[in-house]
Structure formats: structure tokens, C-alpha cells
């Protein structure tokens, strides 16, 4: 695929050849528990990169109407995560009834996880949090259907800075305000498994995450949101490395790759896997190949060189042990 002439590719600021894959430390196939695949042409581009970077099985939050087409093409490699029709979101019975019907339809198609996206804009727009009464029938139905959960709880701490998009805490709450509803939800659905996306939303504080994991045995984290995780790991590599080793059985590999326009190049998809695997496996220290306005300039990437048993657990062992594959 062509790049725009003259413009630096935001996925490849170092001019790497992403087809030239580094020699990885593990040969076992990886499971990516967090993607968003849409139409088949973009999914094909995504899978080209996934295959090249050793990712065999992929969990996707695809719209219900895309499931049949994706499954026809990639049946064995795909697992679906049930999502509602977010763009129609309203706090009313019509939206919720459709959500419940979609949960049932995804379940019939084999989904074992459902996603609750509870980022601060939900609080701003609808006053909605995980422990809001509106959610209770959805949670109850999902439990009855046998679902485990994926939850988006937090966003980058820098977004709460005075220049950040959540600076107005009267609308969005503080970052700490995002967590009591999550903790009540974890208690509500225990022992059902809950995956808190993007390292639980608080990679900036491995200390906070360790407490969260200690308080909730049904909680696991995913490594998705590559730019965010890369820049914060680079700021505190030793702290995150110690956290990953201490909680090796509680972290799942994920990318948060979104396969649709405007992502038309192999390099975009490959860059996320290159960074994730380099960060966890290698002893690389240097610049990140991905542009990131929230990072130091230039953006940094720190390889943690995790032990082999930790890599195996995070890459595929944990999701298999949780019986969600
Ligand atoms: Zn996502």
C-alpha cells in the first residue's frame, strides 16, 4: 500500500521495515484479547500484520452486522465480544431492550465476553457509571446468559491535566472517581471474570493496580492501547517490570487495534504489534516508532525483557486458563 508522498507515517517515524520482523523469544501463538474489526478488507490488512507478528487468535468488538462476514473469512481465529450500538446510546428502555437482544444474539454466535465502555464521557453525557440503576438489568441479563466482562474504566492521567480534555472534573469526575463504581461492579459480578482494559486504565500507577488486583480476585487486565501503555512503561520501566512479574497470571495481551478507515496501511497494524512485543520481550531502549502527542518528545519505548514464563502467561496462557478462549 502507498503512503502519502512526503508525509511522515505516524505509525513509522523511525522508517522501520515492519516486514522484517525481529527475532522473538517465544514461538507459541499469541492471543490478542482486544481489537475492533469492521469490514473484511480492513480485517484482511489487520490479519496480514497479526499473522506476521505471531498473533493467531483475536477477540474483536465488531458490530453485530459484521459478525457473519468476518466469521465466514476467519472463523477459527476470531472470538467475538458483545457490544451494544453505542452510536444510538440513550438512557431509555428502547436502547436497553435492543442491548439485551444484541447480548442474546452475540451469545448465540458464541460470544463469551461483553463490553461495557464506561469512560468519563458516559458520565458527562448521561450521568452513567457502572453502578447506575440503568445498568443493573443489563448486568443481570449478562450474568444469566453466562457472560464474562470487559470494562473500560479509566483513561490516561494526562487527560485530567489542566490542558486535558477532562480538566473539568465537575463534568467528568476525577480520575480516582472512576474507580469506586468499578470496584462495586467487581463485587457485584464476582466470581465472574472482569477484564479491565488498558491495564485497568491506570498504568501510570502500578501501585494502585496492585491494590485493585489484591482486592478483587475476579479482575484481570489487558495490555491494550499501545501508545498510552508504551509511553508510560517508558517513564517507569522498572516499576512496571516488577508489577508484570508479580502479577504475571493477571495480565492478558491486547492491542486495541481498530481495523477500518482511515487505517489503510500494513505498517499501522504492524506497528502496534512491533511495539507491544518489543516492550514485553526485548531489552530495547530508545525511541518509539509511533507518533504520540501525549508522550515526551521524541516518544520513548522501553523493552522490559520479561522472563519467558511471564511472556507465555500474558501472551496466551492466562486467557486459556480463564476458560475464555
Ligand atoms: Zn478498545
Residues pairing with 55 in the sheet: 30
The alpha carbon of 150 and the centre of ligand 1 are apart by a number of angstroms equal to: 10
The alpha carbon of 229 and the centre of ligand 1 are apart by a number of angstroms equal to: 13
pLDDT digits (tens, 9 = 90+) for 262-278: 999 999 999 999 999 99
The alpha carbon of 237 and the centre of ligand 1 are apart by a number of angstroms equal to: 24
The alpha carbon of 297 and the centre of ligand 1 are apart by a number of angstroms equal to: 25
Q: Which long-range contacts (CB under 8 A, 24 or more apart) does 139-143 make?
A: 139/185, 139/188, 139/189, 141/100, 141/103, 142/103, 142/114, 143/189, 143/192
The alpha carbon of 296 and the centre of ligand 1 are apart by a number of angstroms equal to: 23
The alpha carbon of 5 and the centre of ligand 1 are apart by a number of angstroms equal to: 30
The alpha carbon of 104 and the centre of ligand 1 are apart by a number of angstroms equal to: 21
Question: What count of residues does the chain have?
Answer: 325
Distance (Å, rounded) from C-alpha 13 to C-alpha 275?
A: 13
CATH 1.10.940.10 fits 30-321, yes or no: no
Q: What is the pTM of this model?
A: 0.96
The alpha carbon of 253 and the centre of ligand 1 are apart by a number of angstroms equal to: 13
The alpha carbon of 259 and the centre of ligand 1 are apart by a number of angstroms equal to: 11
**Mean pLDDT for the stretch of residues 203-214:** 98
Query: Concatenated DSSP letters for 17-34?
Result: -TTS----S--SPEEEEE
Distance (Å, rounded) from C-alpha 246 to C-alpha 241?
A: 9
The alpha carbon of 304 and the centre of ligand 1 are apart by a number of angstroms equal to: 24
Distance of CA 260 to the CA centre of its chain: 16
pLDDT digits (tens, 9 = 90+) for 148-188: 999 998 999 999 999 999 999 999 999 999 999 999 999 99
Please report, for the chain, the start and end positions of each structural domain, with discontinuous segments joined by +. 30-321
Does residue 140 carry a pLDDT above 80? yes
Average pLDDT, the chain: 96
Does residue 91 carry a pLDDT above 60? yes
- The answer to whether the CB of 184 falls within 8 A of the CB of 130 is yes
The grid coordinates of residue 234 equal: 517508558
The alpha carbon of 220 and the centre of ligand 1 are apart by a number of angstroms equal to: 16
The alpha carbon of 105 and the centre of ligand 1 are apart by a number of angstroms equal to: 21
Please list all protein residues whose beta carbon sits less than 5 angstroms from ligand 1, which is an ion.
256
The alpha carbon of 269 and the centre of ligand 1 are apart by a number of angstroms equal to: 14
- Residue 175: the pLDDT is 97
Distance separating the N- and C-terminal Cα atoms of the chain: 33
Distance (Å, rounded) from C-alpha 33 to C-alpha 195?
A: 9
Amino acid at each position: 500500500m502507498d503512503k502519502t508522498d512526503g508525509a511522515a507515517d505516524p505509525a513509522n517515524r523511525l522508517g522501520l521495515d515492519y516486514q522484517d520482523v525481529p527475532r522473538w523469544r517465544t514461538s507459541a501463538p499469541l492471543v490478542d484479547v482486544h481489537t475492533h474489526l469492521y469490514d473484511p478488507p480492513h480485517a484482511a490488512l489487520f490479519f496480514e500484520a497479526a499473522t506476521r507478528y505471531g498473533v493467531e487468535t483475536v477477540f474483536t468488538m465488531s458490530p453485530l452486522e459484521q459478525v457473519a462476514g468476518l466469521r465466514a473469512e476467519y472463523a477459527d481465529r476470531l472470538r467475538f465480544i458483545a457490544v451494544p450500538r453505542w452510536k444510538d446510546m440513550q438512557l431509555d428502555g428502547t436502547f436497553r431492550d435492543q442491548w439485551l437482544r444484541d447480548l442474546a444474539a452475540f451469545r448465540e454466535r458464541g460470544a463469551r465476553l461483553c463490553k461495557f465502555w464506561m469512560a468519563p464521557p458516559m458520565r458527562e453525557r448521561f450521568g452513567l457509571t457502572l453502578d447506575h440503576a440503568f445498568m443493573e438489568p443489563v448486568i443481570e441479563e449478562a450474568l444469566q446468559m453466562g457472560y464474562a466482562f470487559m470494562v473500560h474504566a479509566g483513561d490516561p492521567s494526562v487527560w485530567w491535566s489542566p490542558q486535558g480534555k477532562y480538566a473539568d472534573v465537575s463534568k467528568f469526575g476525577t480520575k480516582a472517581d472512576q474507580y469506586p463504581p468499578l470496584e462495586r461492579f467487581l463485587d457485584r459480578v464476582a466470581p465472574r471474570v472482569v477484564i479491565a482494559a488498558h491495564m485497568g486504565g491506570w498504568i501510570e500507577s502500578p501501585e494502585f493496580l496492585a491494590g485493585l488486583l489484591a482486592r478483587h480476585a475476579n479482575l484481570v487486565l489487558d495490555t491494550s492501547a499501545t501508545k498510552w501503555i508504551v509511553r508510560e512503561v517508558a517513564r517507569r520501566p522498572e516499576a512496571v517490570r516488577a508489577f508484570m512479574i508479580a502479577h504475571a497470571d493477571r495480565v492478558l495481551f491486547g492491542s486495541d487495534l481498530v481495523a477500518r478507515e482511515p487505517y489503510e496501511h500494513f505498517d499501522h497494524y504492524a506497528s502496534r504489534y512491533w511495539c507491544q512485543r518489543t516492550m514485553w520481550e526485548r531489552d530495547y531502549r530508545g525511541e518509539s516508532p509511533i507518533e504520540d502527542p501525549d508522550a515526551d518528545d521524541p516518544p520513548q519505548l522501553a523493552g522490559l525483557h520479561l522472563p519467558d514464563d511471564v511472556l507465555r502467561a500474558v501472551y496466551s496462557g492466562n486467557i486459556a486458563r480463564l476458560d475464555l478462549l
